[in-house]
Amino acid sequence: MIEFDVEVDATGLNCPLPLLRLKKALVGMASGDIVKVIATDPAAHLDVGVYADQAGHQIIEFVRKSDIQVFYIRKK
End-to-end CA distance of the chain: 21
User: Active-site residue among 6, 13, 15, 60?
Assistant: 15
Would you call 9 a catalytic residue per the annotation? no
Whether 36 contacts 70, CB under 8 Å: yes
Cβ of 27: how many Cβ atoms within 10 Å? 7
Query: At 19, which helix (H) or strand (E)?
Result: helix 17-27
Active site residues: 15
